[in-house]
Every structure is written in structure tokens, then in C-alpha cells.
Amino acid sequence: MKCIVESRKFRLWIEGAEILKGVDFCAPRNSISVIVGPSGSGKSTFLKSINRIIEIHGSIRRDGDILLDGVSVYSLDPVEVRRRVAMVFQIPNPFPHLSIFENVALPARVNGVAKNKSELNELVRWALEKAMLWDEVRDRLDKKPGVLSGGQKQRLCLARALAMKPEVLLLDEPTANIDVINAKKIEESLRELKNEVTIILVTHNPNQALRIGDFVNVMYDGRIIESGPVREIVFRARNEIALKLLSEGW
């Protein structure tokens, strides 16, 4: 199976503490790979290692590698990596002082995704439609995101990530802080998006993993201890810890 993101024995130390202890991972192209596991097991750290946002936080040391389409992300320009691998965080973080339109347009413009005004308008509309937000904001694109609900803000962040036309989309518990209706919209959007972008989703919700995941990876204490097609893993977890986590929730 061809992996668009692949890690091999990836280890990471933050301020001298070993957080990731040899992560083997593969995200097949145009699929949704879910990462589950208890709090503190290293899920967010691993996502941030894929697009190198982890380096913004401070002093890290690593061993092993993470490949993006066969090339080490650590051999590429980090700015290019973050354009090709976009991220949506747990707490919706739109730019508060920019309009709804500019929230989506700015990263696209900065990264040169749209060449002129009409391309940019098209792109913003496309991204908002994909994030299932267009109908709710089309009449107030000039307003600040403060007028939106938490769930709408998160869909705006999804649109902002999509407007960069990334190859990979990382989502770190994107529905943990929003209501069920908004969470469903995001799930529906992701299901459709996987035809255009490879998705890696961290979730705390086993049902969400079942509903939208193609592959599941169980992370525990800095390693992925079980991985495979969702149904196979959920119903026949081989590893005892994985089985416990999956049956008792995480």
C-alpha cells in the first residue's frame, strides 16, 4: 500500500523528555486515517511533527523520519511542508480581526494558490462549500468570525486549511469542543473531502472513528501499538492494550 505520509521508528524529545518512542505509521492516499489513544499518549505531538509545527514550540530532538510522498519532511523547507500539510486544531482559532472572507483568503493568497481576484473569490467559495459553511456565511463574508458559533468557527478553520489546497489535512480532535450538529457537518464534509485530500484525524470518539475512518491507529505511550482497517481493528484488536482501550473508550 502506498503511503502519502509514512513514519518509520520516529522518536521525538521535547526539552529532553522522550515523547514519541518509535512511531510507525502509514496514511494511504485519499483515505481517512484515524489516530486514537489516551490523553497524553502523543497524538497531538505526532500530528505536529508531521507538518513540523512542533518546532515552533521550542527545543526538540528527533530520530527516525517522517516521509511525505516518499521525501523526508525534515529535508524540505518547513514553510512548504506546512502548506502541503494543513492543520485544524481542537479549539477553533480563526483570525479574530480578519473578515470571514479574509480568514479563508489570506493563507491562499500568501501561498500563491490564487493568482487574481476572481480566482481568489472562486477559491474562497469552493473552500467554504467544502466545509459546508457557504450557505450560512455567503451574505456576511465581510463580518468578523466573532458573529459565528463555535461550530461555525471550526468549519471556517477547515475552509481556511482547504484554501491552501493541501495534499494532507491534519485534524486534532476537531469536534471535541463543538455541538453534535456541527460535528456531523464536519464529518460529512470530511467523508466527501477524502477524494481530494488525505486526512489524518485524531479523535477521542470511538463512534466517530467507526463512522468516518478507513484506517485506525491506536497510540499508547508514544507508540502506535495497533493499526489496520477500521472494522478489523475495532472488532478484532489483537493487542491486549488496544483491545482494552477500544472496549472501554479512551
Residues of the shown chain interacting with ligand ADP in the complex, contacts defined by CB under 6 A: 14-15, 17, 19, 37, 39-45, 57
Instruction: State which amino acid sits at residue 46.
Output: F
CB of 150 to Mg ion, least distance (A): 18
Q: Of 120 and 202, which CB lies nearer to Mg ion in the complex structure?
A: 202
Of the candidates 120, 82, 83, 78, the residue with the CA atom closest to the CA atom of residue 103: 120
Q: Of 39 and 195, which CB lies nearer to Mg ion in the complex structure?
A: 39
Instruction: State which amino acid sits at residue 112.
Output: G
8 A C-beta contact, residue 241 and residue 233: no
8 A C-beta contact, residue 110 and residue 83: no
CB of 15 to ligand ADP, least distance (A): 5
Q: Of 120 and 233, which CB lies nearer to ligand ADP in the complex structure?
A: 233
Residues that bind Mg ion (CB under 5 A): 43-44
β-pairing, 215-220 vs 17-28, is: unpaired
DSSP state of 175: T
Among Mg ion, ligand ADP, none, the one that 153 touches (CB under a kind-dependent 5 to 8 A) is none
d(CA 157, CA 92): 7
Q: Which residue is nearest to Mg ion (CB)?
A: 44
CB of 24 to ligand ADP, least distance (A): 17
CB of 39 to ligand ADP, least distance (A): 4
Q: Of 128 and 158, which CB lies nearer to Mg ion in the complex structure?
A: 158
Q: How far is CA 25 from the centre of its chain?
A: 15
CB of 207 to Mg ion, least distance (A): 19
Q: Of 44 and 51, which CB lies nearer to Mg ion in the complex structure?
A: 44
8 A C-beta contact, residue 151 and residue 183: yes
> Which value, in Å, is the radius of gyration of the alpha carbons in the chain?
18
Among ligand ADP, Mg ion, none, the one that 40 touches (CB under a kind-dependent 5 to 8 A) is ligand ADP
